[in-house]
Amino acid sequence: MAGRAIRQVLPTVAGEQVNVAFELFIGIDYSGAETPTSRLPGLQVYAARPGGGEIEQWASPTRSNNRQRVNWTRREVAERLRDEAKRGTRFLAGIDHAFSFPAAYFGRYGLGSWPDFLDDFTTHWPTHLDNVYVDFVRGGVLHERGEAPPPGQRVGTSDEFRLTERWSSSAKSVFLFDVNGSVAKSSHAGIPWLRWLRAEVGEHVHFWPFDGWLPPEDKAVIVEVYPSIFRNRYLREERSGDEQDAYATARWMVEMGARGALAGYFEPPLTAAERAAAGLEGWIFGVR
């Protein structure tokens, strides 16, 4: 798995050049099931390094009593990203859940920035807390326990889409729960962990595109991905569907880097108005 970072230089409109070299590419297929400490088969992590070699399936740091591999928890995934960032690893991590909500949501609740959104959302949806299911918040259980405001105060409708979702062929609304392929539960479970990571290692991590469209060369980068875009490029072999999505994410990113094409994905062809909207709503890395 050894290899050198793929170095590319991405020119800005003003002619400035930004290094987008990475030494590690991480694909994460996310799950919003159960609690942050539940071991979930739908939570899978694969990683690749430039220079060829195997796309490696990362194992949870925990082992069972007989030393067998066990599934990841959401907390463990966040902690692994934190630890890689603290080590100074310049990674590009793609996570399969929405990082933000449609612009109408920001207007509805008076939110002016993505950090404001993270703070406000985590107050109403504290799904990073131990023993908290997303459905505990939806159903009012957490409010009855005095751990969250009443349900229904930070919601949307299933016909609300972000611009990046309208630019893709099949992405679902972040407010569409309880259907196959839904991203709603994983997004409502994962967004508080983005806030946690910013608090833990924000000085080492660039959250794209909210911290800027062009990543600085001294930070790791975390992006939203939609594995449906590229999962069928690669034979599934013996992998589960969730394993395939994490594998395809890592493999696509490292291959785009090797082809010299990765840099262009940091600058999708947006108008000024579209760019401003995406600065709040976020963008799916790979959608152009």
Q: Where are the domains of the chain?
A: 9-281
Residues paired with residue 11 on neighbouring β-strands, in sequence order: 17
End-to-end distance of the chain based on CA atoms, in angstroms?
A: 30
Global pTM value: 0.93
Q: Is the dihedral of CA 161, 220, 117, 277 positive or negative?
A: negative
Q: Rounded to whole angstroms, how far apart are CA atoms 64 and 74?
A: 17
Note the pLDDT tens digit of each residue in 165-196: 999 988 999 999 998 888 999 999 999 999 99
- Give me the mean pLDDT over the 29-48 stretch: 97
**8-state DSSP, 229:** G
Q: Rounded to whole angstroms, how far apart are CA atoms 266 and 286?
A: 8
Q: Rounded to whole angstroms, how far apart are CA atoms 284 and 167?
A: 9
| Residue 58, number of CB atoms within 10 A of its CB | 17
Note the pLDDT tens digit of each residue in 73-115: 999 999 999 999 999 999 999 999 999 999 999 999 999 999 9
Asked if 147 contacts 129 with a C-beta cutoff of 8 angstroms, the reply is: yes
pLDDT exceeds cutoff 80 at 52:
no
HSE, side-chain direction, 13 A CA sphere, residue 194? 34
- Amino acid 19: pLDDT: 58
* DSSP state string for 124-189: H--TTSTT--HHHHHTTHHHHTTSSPPTTSS---TT---HHHHTSSSPPPTT--SSTT--HHHHHH
Q: Is the dihedral of CA 194, 200, 201, 202 positive or negative?
A: positive
Cα Rg of the chain, angstroms: 18
| Residue 217, number of CB atoms within 10 A of its CB | 14
HSE, side-chain direction, 13 A CA sphere, residue 10? 21
- Does residue 209 have a cis peptide bond before it, meaning omega lies within 30 degrees of 0? yes
Q: Is the dihedral of CA 178, 230, 29, 211 positive or negative?
A: negative
- β-pairing, 17-19 with 9-11? antiparallel
Asked if 249 contacts 29 with a C-beta cutoff of 8 angstroms, the reply is: yes
Note the pLDDT tens digit of each residue in 220-266: 999 999 999 999 999 999 999 999 999 999 999 999 999 989 989 99
Asked if 97 contacts 183 with a C-beta cutoff of 8 angstroms, the reply is: yes
Task: Give per-residue burial for 14-25: e unless 16+ CB within 10 Å, then b.
Answer: eeeebbbbbbbb
pLDDT exceeds cutoff 60 at 17:
no
Residue 63's pLDDT band, with cuts at 50, 70 and 90, is confident
pLDDT exceeds cutoff 60 at 9:
no
Note the pLDDT tens digit of each residue in 126-166: 999 999 999 999 999 999 999 999 999 999 999 999 999 99
